[in-house]
Amino acid sequence: MGRGDLTHAESARLKPDLPKSGQRGGRWAGHRRVIDGILYRLRTGVPWRDPAARFGPWKTVYERHRRSSADGTWDRIFAAVLADADAEDRIDWSMVSVDSTSCRSHQHAAGARRKPPRVPGKDARPGSTAPDEGPGRSRGGLTCKIHLAGEGGRRPLALLITPGQWGDAPQLIPVMGRIRVARLGGGHPRTRPDHLDGDKAYSSRRYLRWRQIKHTTPEPKNQRANRQRRGNKGGRPAGFDKTTYRRRSEVERTINALKKSRAVATRFDKRGYIFHGTVTVASIRLWLRP
């Protein structure tokens, strides 16, 4: 077993959620070896053609990752791992923080053909994608952003990929909407943390009040000026606890842990759904190894 490969316990944990073998031609044989190849590429950022021969044909490794990203296999495994962690009381719901990070796009990530999005259900072929492939032009050139919500234990609960020029403020609602941790004992999935922490870009106070989520976010200058201009109708300023706000560093440390994977720190994937699968695999890895 090489450095970074799955352990026996981790492989046994993933096995129930992986596609079943036994199909014609043994299509899904050798899950563990192929996943080790995907993790090697994730950790090192090497081109898909260059992993060691012990992982098998490079085409098999790439196609398995591409198909698992397209059909939602990685998303289902991520949801299952979160459900197990919640059942074992390993998710720190006391504080969930949101933030984003920019990822520089390699030149190989540019040039994806733009096609209209395929409708899920009507077109189940692998490769159905979101309308936007991701890399957008910003000051640093071609970049994309990873928006994520991280729990107090410095591991991700939800993530979203957007082009690099997109702002942070509009992404709070989509990111929070992706927090859905199933309960193994039955019942509605948990979607609401005890407290939310974020910088001033995520100060959607109306939405957070509607969700009944306690939050600690600085008030932007324009919102403060608008509130003061309205006088008594503007309401009172929200309380701000600097001690609680210091826990925002937890999500920054979560981002740092994700970006230890070189294929996350620099985007090499041309298609948006494949890069989303790459970041999801990195998130699964963080939950498998404490």
Which of 140, 151, 107 is closest to 257 using CA atoms?
151
pLDDT in tens, 33-74: 999 999 999 999 999 999 888 898 999 999 999 999 998 999
Residue 186 falls in which region: left (phi positive, over 0), alpha (psi -120 to 50) or beta: left
What average pLDDT does range 158-163 have in this prediction? 91
What average pLDDT does range 87-111 have in this prediction? 89
Q: How high is the pLDDT of residue 127? A: 35
Residue 30 confidence (pLDDT) above 50: yes
Residue 7 confidence (pLDDT) above 80: yes
State pTM to two decimals: 0.85
Residue 178 confidence (pLDDT) above 50: yes
What's at 205, amino acid-wise? R
Q: How high is the pLDDT of residue 113? A: 64
pLDDT in tens, 165-176: 888 888 999 999
Other C-beta atoms closer than 10 Å to the C-beta of 50 total 10
Q: Residue written as tokens 């996943």?
A: 35
pLDDT in tens, 9-24: 999 999 888 887 655 5
When pLDDT is cut at 50, 70 and 90, the band that residue 209 belongs to is confident
> So where are the chain's domains?
8-288
When pLDDT is cut at 50, 70 and 90, the band that residue 232 belongs to is low
Dihedral pair phi/psi, residue 213, rounded to 5°: -110, 120
Is 220 within 8 Å of 227 (Cβ atoms)?
no
When pLDDT is cut at 50, 70 and 90, the band that residue 132 belongs to is low
117, with CB counted inside 10 A (0-12, 13-18, 19+), is exposed
Question: DSSP of the chain, one letter per residue?
Answer: --TTPPPHHHHHHHGGGSPPS-STT-TT--HHHHHHHHHHHHHH---TT-S-GGG--HHHHHHHHHHHHHTTHHHHHHHHHHHHHHHTT---TT-EEEEEEEEEEPGGG--PPP-PPPPTTT--STT---S--S-EEETTEEEEEEEEEE-TTS-EEEEEEEETTS-SGGGHHHHHHT--B--TTSSSPB---SEEE--GGG--HHHHHHHT-EEE-PPPHHHHHHHHHTGGGG-PPPP--HHHHGGGHHHHHHHHHHTTSHHHHEE--SSHHHHHHHHHHHHHHHHH--
CA distance 201 to 243: 19
When pLDDT is cut at 50, 70 and 90, the band that residue 288 belongs to is very high
What average pLDDT does range 239-260 have in this prediction? 87
- Pull the structure tokens for residue 46: 């090497």
Residue 268 confidence (pLDDT) above 60: yes
Q: Residue written as tokens 């190849």?
A: 37
Which of 58, 77, 69 is closest to 6 using CA atoms?
77
Hey, which of 38-42, 102-106, 127-131, 267-271 has the most confident mean pLDDT? 38-42
Dihedral pair phi/psi, residue 105, rounded to 5°: -95, 130
- Pull the structure tokens for residue 15: 């096995």
CA distance 240 to 248: 13
